[in-house]
Amino acid sequence: MHSSLSLSFSQATAAAIPRPNFAVDSLVFAQSKPLNLRFCGLRREAFGFSPLTKSSSLRVCLPARGQARGKISASVADNGTAPKSFDYDLIIIGAGVGGHGAALHAVEKGLKTAIIEGDVVGGTCVNRGCVPSKALLAVSGKMRELQSEHHMKALGLQVSAAGYDRQGVADHANNLASKIRSNLTNSMKALGVDILTGVGTILGPQKVKYGKVGLPDKIVTAKDIIIATGSVPFVPKGIEVDGKTVITSDHALKLEFVPDWIAIVGSGYIGLEFSDVYTALGSEVTFIEALDQLMPGFDPEIGKLAQRVLINPRKIDYHTGVFASKITPARDGKPVTIELIDAKTKEHKDTLEVDAALIATGRAPFTNGLGLENINVVTQRGFVPVDERMRVIDANGNLVSHLYCIGDANGKMMLAHAASAQGISVVEQVTGRDHVLNHLSIPAACFTHPEISMVGLTEPQAREKAEMEGFEVSVAKTSFKANTKALAENEGEGLAKLIYRPDNGEILGVHIFGLHAADLIHEASNAIALGTRIQDIKFAVHAHPTLSEVLDELFKSAKVQAHASTPVSEPVAV
């Protein structure tokens, strides 16, 4: 699942979220040389590929921080050997995508590693987020295609009325989550990662306790500790969630029923994806958005096009500039009622009566009960404060030695693959190689039909930056209607947009709306990560006919100054 901190919630600030008796982990998913193949941040082992064998060994030569180059040796069979004064080299609290990525990379680096999990392996992404939602979206995509008589006729196909089995669809999502969860667990066990079951709490520097309710706690120590406890759905005050007719994304993924009319509070990633699912399955949808336009987090031009394709032709209406100040579940034969107030004046605007309401107002960090008070760390709106290297900062502004926080819990970028990248970055640091992750190179995607993807800055953000720093911004665009593969699929609706500096060819942002946009964005994100200039990437060769040629044409259409000599700026941590 993706971050979608839309402002469609009551005007009151969020109450402190109590930490229940289980850990929820970060969102947003090996051969002898493991490949970083990821789905929503997941390593390739999640899909059943063979990890390192027990008999294989791993030797890594790295310079220790502040020390001369030394040798770290580890046999995967015994998961390394921790220093005598610690139980482990690394303990990770939370076995979501971020924790999983960090654990596997730590073993590769020869660290004796343990991961603490109080709920189930996989965290939000695998169990209540990206993975099951993609299963539902796969169904909605098929349904939408089969239901489009015009589309099928254009391909010369004749299909009778398409239908679906709700329980079968729900089982598909549940089975996928179970498979990925099992594969993640098995991959860590095969690599020798110790999975410690229980709720993790920091007792002090380099010391953690964990345990289950009713059982004695156990205490373990580690040279370094990573917090990776993720997030939970954010429910504003005034909204009563019953899990049946007023639900969060956690409940919606179970697909226990398909309402005739559902209100979705928030039009970010989560809300958009569920609108795609519900309308494909026959529901009418009403969006409730606090800001003056839908999809506020997207590049404005892409958002307008997406609204024309994803909202206007479908059974969707919307209210913008309003808060859902109170939502009452259906009971005693009465429908769900939603009180709407003006976002600015707070005056009553309307009352809606619907069959169900989905609260998609973003996610809140899951950090209560971590024992942060024991190390003098104060959260900021629930987020653990960190620096650009994910090192935790205490209440006095000082770094807490050997303690890091990754993923949704630090709030830098609430995406599963961002959490995994942060975890890998931390492991690089604790094994002696300084590493700063460039968050502007991390892509994001919304898996609607068609998809939306993006990396870097939006056009307004880029122009604001240009005005502050004194450089020019140019924009290039290409249409899917000129792409052979898209036209062969009868899917020519789409746009790719490049925002760049004409003086030196630096890529500032890329935004795509169209067929397989989520897959296409990675050429742009990798270019940003590697600092590749447009004048260089123009020489890349793309197979024909493929959708990748949309990006090929996009980069070739950019007008970079003939004698651009200004070097591209180094990646900046944000």
Distance of alpha carbon 106 from alpha carbon 424, whole angstroms = 8
The reply to whether 304 sits in an annotated binding site is: no
The reply to whether 459 sits in an annotated binding site is: no
Query: Given 3-state DSSP classes, what are the helix, strand and coil percentages for the chain, each rounded to the nearest 5?
Result: 30, 25, 45
Cite the DSSP H helix spans in 57-129: 97-108, 123-128
**Number of C-beta neighbours around residue 75 at 10 A:** 16
Picking from 105, 112, 84, 123, the residue whose alpha carbon sits closest to that of residue 194 is: 112
The reply to whether 133 sits in an annotated binding site is: no
CA neighbours closer than 13 Å in the CB half-sphere of residue 178: 7
The reply to whether 90 sits in an annotated binding site is: no
**Number of C-beta neighbours around residue 460 at 10 A:** 12
The reply to whether 297 sits in an annotated binding site is: no
The reply to whether 413 sits in an annotated binding site is: no
Distance of alpha carbon 279 from alpha carbon 424, whole angstroms = 39
Distance of alpha carbon 495 from alpha carbon 480, whole angstroms = 6
Q: Which residues contact 379 (CB under 8 A, 6 or more apart)?
A: 365, 367, 372, 385
The reply to whether 415 sits in an annotated binding site is: yes
The reply to whether 546 sits in an annotated binding site is: no
Q: Determine if the peptide bond prior to 545 is cis (ω within 30°).
A: yes
The reply to whether 417 sits in an annotated binding site is: yes
The reply to whether 3 sits in an annotated binding site is: no
The verdict on whether 172 is a catalytic residue reads: no
CA neighbours closer than 13 Å in the CB half-sphere of residue 138: 11
| Dihedral sign of CA atoms 39, 40, 43, 48 in order | negative
Distance of alpha carbon 6 from alpha carbon 268, whole angstroms = 6
Q: Which residues contact 268 (CB under 8 A, 6 or more apart)?
A: 2, 3, 4, 5, 6, 295, 296, 297, 360, 362
Distance of alpha carbon 49 from alpha carbon 47, whole angstroms = 6
Query: Which tokens hold the place of 360?
Result: 């998609």
Give the SS3 label for residue 422: helix
**What angle do helix axes 97-108 and 166-191 make, rounded to 10 degrees?**
30
The reply to whether 416 sits in an annotated binding site is: yes
The reply to whether 498 sits in an annotated binding site is: no
- One-letter amino acid at 116 equals I
Name the E strands within 207-308.
207-211, 218-227, 231-233, 246-248, 261-265, 284-289
- One-letter amino acid at 498 equals L
The reply to whether 283 sits in an annotated binding site is: no
Tell me the pairing of strands 199-204 and 207-211.
antiparallel
Radius of gyration of the chain (CA): 24
Catalytic residue among 516, 522, 544, 563: 544
Distance of alpha carbon 354 from alpha carbon 125, whole angstroms = 29
Distance of alpha carbon 273 from alpha carbon 1, whole angstroms = 10
The reply to whether 269 sits in an annotated binding site is: yes
Distance of alpha carbon 417 from alpha carbon 123, whole angstroms = 13
Distance of alpha carbon 275 from alpha carbon 424, whole angstroms = 34
Binding residues for FAD: 134, 200, 229-231, 408, 414-417
What positions carry a catalytic annotation?
544
User: What residue numbers does the annotated binding site cover?
Assistant: 134, 200, 229-231, 266-273, 289, 362, 408, 414-417
Which parts are annotated binding residues for NAD(+)? 266-273, 289, 362
